[in-house]
Chains A and B, each alone.
Chain A
């Protein structure tokens, strides 16, 4: 076995904006980037974490009493240096305010949880989407799970930040029909400063995926741009990406407007608040979409994409016959 097995921090059903049809989402824990606008900060670390959700807490003090390390010093206050991650507090918390983020599940266990949804996923032209965090951190596990899903006729898509080792990913890519590929900041320096890593590899990977797609040897690759005020919404960034996509023969992308719905999660984990970001108005979003159009790239709203149907992608057929 090459890559380590992941923790899964959530399984969500009836999702409509992460690929075609009705989809179930598998969230992998761990991400190589640290984008400041991230709405899933609980996905950053690969290791399990304890989150405290103050809204659910009834201040009963059970966690304080229960902690064998006396790391929970008061309700809602945990000394991370003393915590040995035994999760006694999570087990004993009656309200679910103390929550474990990240569970070890085998591919078979994930399959069991997803299986009741299969008829609906098939009927709606949907499937399962791997997301996170970053599924590509766990290529072996992801390929195994994708193989099991494909064996039962379930379409598999993946959302990625694009920072991965292409070669080790090939077995997984063979089983995917669609890769939703996040692009963020085009300028390398800014990307490094804001997201915490270079974007060379990301651009390289997008290029290889696009080329494989054009050769009908890989999954459909569909770029998505999170639209974040003052970070990704500048004209330069838009034009930069538009030119880059055009150069790869890509003519479509999804623009995902920023919404601060996950901001509370930082506090669950004791992280400092993220930057205060506003949301774009509808007019601003339209303006950005028009900019892309001018550049020859069609911009879609989430959930309105016309993804090619499964059978149009030869890679998935080839992948289906692969060994899981």
Chain B
């Protein structure tokens, strides 16, 4: 166990400024326009058309065919090395670009084809490229997993449901990704380990337990070898490019040495174990690229780098090969690489996931398997490195537990005070409890790392489709109050079709429990529908788009001879997140109070008022908003209703298994789906008008926070989160003027400790000055680099849709009146 040590930069000394190199890379990235990379689809189409591609699609197992395609892609993409960088390996063919994933959901971008430069997030694409993009899109319309799963006559209503995104938004259609791979193995053993293991299985024709390999398992082990061959070639191509550049005239002596060092590293890793901190970072980066090229870009995370790289770092420092300052610079260069990628969302989809977040996450601090604190000097150094760049990627998360050293909590808060909303904080006690509840051993649960925004994995052991779908929870109450139909469905599109389940008509409901039961039935019905559609997607993944890279990085697959999409992962989950939790809870409370306790209205009367969207009843609407107790003010009665709503969702999910045999588990975060869902959700009993955004993640509903942040945190911590395997997102926003300085730092540190000691699971903070944000909205050029936390992820403020910007501005700034 490591003793907590002071970091290179002591907590009270603040953060050191970036080196010239880091400042230069950062400046270049910030001034680079976004684009779309067409290299991946181009190479895949080439492969599919090639002799090998055509032959293997007919004669080979789908796993092998897929691995061949990936090998083709990895080994033929052109390496690009940029000025100044110490860690090399290009995410795409351009400096900053989104990959186009034919098999995923990228086709949605064709909706914006005529206005690429005029989007909220403009994309720069030449005219020939635009035509090429159109061609790729049209030629491959039916190659996407979503199309294969849903574009069948019998499934057309599910397709429309998916497309309209009212009840839910199925993210898994675009890919699974969302992984914290086994980078520990990559760094310590190298890919040689799985490569040789696969070779041994194939040679012996048996699993390690002696059972004979079947055809699928043989195909799996072959896919592992083919894929690793591809990754090796990709690394070698990078090395060759670095050598070529080092040899070219006009290169400074220092740069030549750096390039040769990179080349040397890429000739070795990730196939062989890393020997130095530099090789460790380089190994992780190459495998991370392979992960990005395989599935899609979302939530591919680095995990507990302060643990994985610690030995290498300490040895380098002890043997005087590396100073902490050099290590910080190298780490910052690594972090900046994460800015090269972005998702491809059309304006329509961007409403649900505004801010082009990818969330390649570091998880720092926490405990070992026995519960001993393992926060170390590298945990602090990685915070230092991020403090030098403050960019939209990567994501940084810290684990807080009772033994977290004070310097680390303080340093984390000081980073928060810089205004990028990083790091977000996770409470080990609550998280580990939920992971154990979901079937992990305590030791594995304690080795958790955050996937992307807030989702959970035991690092390198979990296949969690952690962002499979988002679910509109308050809509279930609307359906429950209208016999399964929306208050105002568009009859022409939806026909006479009920939207939800046929639950008891309102005039037959006699008690609050009748309402609650109908609500639960609607939730179950919505979840059942989702599980059905996700099952279709899972089948398509298994048969046409397995993920060998991911399988190499997930314990259990090599042992069982099964790809992760075939259920090979040691732990397997599918996670669905509820949006609008507090609105649902507060609405249940309001209904009970006004209709069943005070009997001010009959239920049909009250529902009539909701259907009319409180028309002519503004006084009532405002009274419901302002005078009734609500979640978020430390009121146990109000909080209990939010718990009921959360339990309804969790229980509906926990009743299901995915087709790989893994559990369905809930999360409570909403990306920006609470805005998209809000637009299509009718008036709610808590006074929320039709069309207004829903409550965000675990946050109180709009206008509910009367008592400030301490009460919000108390309410949040009071909820029973044992079933929330996929965690939650609780946004708090503070005015920078209030929580600045050492006083603010100490106060926030106390606030977090108190929250986590009460059982809090997660919290993330925006430290912002509303005036600055208003200015940034009016004149985007005035503040190009403001990073805000939107849901579980961070984004440049300028990249957000205007209504999301408004929400960030409006969200209660916890100051002192």
Contacts and interface: CB of A to CB of B under 8 A. Distances in A.
Interface in A116-165: 116-117, 119-120, 123-126
A303 B710 CA distance: 19
B202 interface: no
A117 B710 contact: yes
Interface in B736-780: 738-739, 741-744, 746-747, 750-751, 753-754, 757
Interface string A95-126: 11000000000000000000011011001111
27 contacts: A12-B816, A12-B817, A13-B707, A13-B708, A13-B711, A14-B708, A14-B709, A14-B747, A14-B751, A15-B816, A16-B747, A16-B816, A21-B747, A22-B710, A58-B619, A58-B622, A94-B623, A95-B619, A95-B622, A116-B710, A123-B750, A123-B753, A124-B750, A124-B751, A126-B750, A261-B817, A262-B817
A17 B714 CA distance: 22
A265 to B, nearest CB: 10
Interface string B50-84: 00000000000000000000000000000000000
Interface of A: 12-17, 21-22, 56, 58, 60, 62, 94-96, 116-117, 119-120, 123-126, 261-262, 303-304
A262 B743 CA distance: 24
A124 B747 contact: yes
Given A22-B747, A96-B626, A96-B627, A12 B754 contact: no
Contacts of A119: 754, 757
Interface residues of B, number: 30
B751 A120 contact: yes
Contacts of A60: 618-619
A304 B740 CA distance: 10
B730 to A, nearest CB: 16
A14 B627 CA distance: 23
A125 B746 CA distance: 9
B89 interface: no
Interface string B538-550: 0000000000000
B377 to A, nearest CB: 26
B816 A94 contact: no
Contacts of A262: 817
Contacts of B2: none
Contact of B708 (A12, A95, A96, A126): A12
A18 to B, nearest CB: 8
Contacts of B751: 14, 22, 120, 124
A232 to B, nearest CB: 21
B814 interface: yes
B750 A22 contact: yes
Nearest to A25: B816
Contacts of A96: 626-627
A1 to B, nearest CB: 31
Contacts of A16: 738-739, 743-744, 747, 816
Shortest beta-carbon contacts, A-B, top 8? A94-B623, A124-B750, A60-B619, A94-B619, A303-B743, A120-B754, A95-B622, A96-B626
Contacts of A123: 750, 753-754
Contacts of B618: 58, 60
B754 A95 contact: no
A95 B626 contact: yes
A17 B747 CA distance: 11
A15 B710 CA distance: 10
Interface string B696-723: 0000000000011111001000000000
B474 interface: no
B634 interface: yes
Given A13-B711, A116-B714, A21 B619 contact: no
A13 B710 contact: yes
A14 B816 CA distance: 8
A118 to B, nearest CB: 10
A60 B814 CA distance: 30
Contacts of A303: 741, 743-744
A127 B751 CA distance: 14
B24 interface: no
B431 to A, nearest CB: 21
Contacts of A21: 746-747, 750
A15 B739 CA distance: 10
B620 A124 contact: no
Given A14-B708, A94-B623, A123-B750, 17 more contacts: A12-B708, A16-B743, A22-B710, A58-B619, A58-B622, A62-B619, A95-B622, A95-B626, A116-B711, A117-B710, A119-B757, A120-B710, A120-B750, A124-B746, A125-B746, A262-B817, A303-B743
Interface in B499-554: none
Interface string B800-817: 000000000000001011
Contacts of B742: 304
B814 A14 contact: yes
Residue picked from A120, A125, A261, most chain B C-beta under 10 Å: A120
A7 to B, nearest CB: 18
Residue picked from A94, A96, A123, A262, most chain B C-beta under 10 Å: A94
A119 B753 CA distance: 10
Contacts of A95: 619, 622-623, 626
A110 B364 CA distance: 41
A12 B707 CA distance: 7
Contacts of A261: 817
Contacts of A22: 710, 747, 750-751
A116 B754 CA distance: 11
A119 B758 CA distance: 10
A62 B754 CA distance: 43
B492 to A, nearest CB: 35
Residue picked from A14, A123, A125, most chain B C-beta under 10 Å: A14
Contacts of A125: 746
A16 to B, nearest CB: 5
A262 B746 CA distance: 27
Contacts of A117: 710
Contacts of B711: 13, 116
A123 B751 CA distance: 9
A80 B746 CA distance: 47
Given A123-B750, A124-B747, A304-B743, A14 B622 contact: no
Contacts of B709: 14
Residue picked from A12, A16, A60, most chain B C-beta under 10 Å: A16
Contacts of B814: 14
Nearest to B734: A14
A95 B687 CA distance: 12
B692 to A, nearest CB: 16
B222 to A, nearest CB: 58
Nearest to A119: B754
Contacts of B744: 16, 303
B741 A304 contact: yes
Contacts of B623: 94-95
Contact of A94 (B627, B714, B753): B627
Contacts of B753: 123
Nearest to B746: A124
B229 to A, nearest CB: 56
A15 B747 CA distance: 9
A13 B750 CA distance: 14
A157 to B, nearest CB: 15
A95 B620 CA distance: 9
B623 to A, nearest CB: 3
Interface string B625-652: 0110000001000000000000000000
A304 B710 CA distance: 22
A13 B814 CA distance: 10
Nearest to B626: A96
A120 B634 CA distance: 14
A116 B744 CA distance: 21
Nearest to A303: B743
Residue picked from A17, A56, A95, A304, most chain B C-beta under 10 Å: A95
A94 B743 contact: no
Contacts of B747: 14, 16, 21-22, 124, 126
